[in-house]
Amino acid sequence: MRTTLIAGNWKMHLLSEEARQLVRGILAGLARVPSERELLLIPPYVWLMPVAAQLRETSRVKLGGQDVHWEGEGAFTSAISASMLRDAGCEYVLVGHSERRHVFGDDARTLARKLRAALAGGLQAIYCVGEQLAQREAQETEAVLDRQLQEVLGGLGTEEMQRLTLAYEPVWAIGTGRTATPEIAQQAHAHLRRRLAEEFGEAVASQVRILYGGSVKPDNAAELLAQTDIDGALVGGASLAAESFLGIAMAGSGVS
C-alpha cells in the first residue's frame, strides 16, 4: 500500500530564525498528524544541517534537497552532490522542478543525469513533471507528460524505480492561486500511472507514489488527497507556515 507523503518545498525563503521557528511549530503539532502520513521538509541548502539537527528528535519528518548535481565532486561552483546531501541528513531530493526547467534551463539530458546521480548516491528522488498553460490549452498535457517520463526515466531498472516518487505539477497552477480541479489532477495522475505500468510493469506502477503540486492549501487538500492516484502533495507557499502545512498533512484524515 502506498503511503501518503506531504513534502514542503521552501524554495528560496526564510532566514535562520524563521526556519527554526517553522520547524519548531511543525514538531509541536506533529502528534496531530496521522501516523501513516510521512512529512518531508525541503529547505534551502544553507538550512539543511540546522533543520536536520532539529529533526533528530523524530523519525516521522524527513529532510530533502531542492536539487542535485550529476557529478560526485569537482569544479562545479554553487552545485551540490548526492553525497553532500546525504551527509547533511537528506533522504530525498527534488529533480526537475518546473523552476529548474523553466528558470534555470535544465533540459532532459541534464535531468536524466541528475536523477541517476541521486539514485546512485542512495537518495530517494522526487521527479517533477507537468505542462505549461499553452500546452494544456492545446490539449497536449498527456503528450508532454509522456515525453518527460520517457526522456528521463527510460532505461531505469525495477530497483531504481522503487526509490522514485513522481510529482505532477501543472506549471500554470504553481504559485498562481489556480489549482487543477481534483478531477483534472486525478486524470493526469492516472495517465502517469498507466504509462509507468506500460514501461515498468503493473507491480512497479502500483508502488510508485505520485504527488500533486500546484497551489495546494488546507482548504483544497482533502479533496485532492481523496483521489485514487494522488498519493500526497508537493507544497510550496503553504509549507512556509506550520499551521497551513500541518493542515494539509491532516487533510481528509478526520483529525482537526
The residues annotated with a catalytic role in the active site are 97, 169
Angle ∠(4,159,146) on CA atoms, nearest 5: 70
Residue 233 contacts residue 211 (beta carbons within 8 Å): yes
Q: 10 Å Cβ neighbour count for 77?
A: 4
Strand partners, 235: 8
The number of C-alpha atoms within 13 Å of 77 and in the hemisphere containing its C-beta is: 0
Torsion of CA 122, 124, 147, 111, to 10 degrees: -50
Report the distance separating Cα 124 and Cα 161, nearest Å: 10
Alpha-helix residue ranges (DSSP H) falling in 155-181: 158-161
Host H or E run for residue 137: helix 133-137
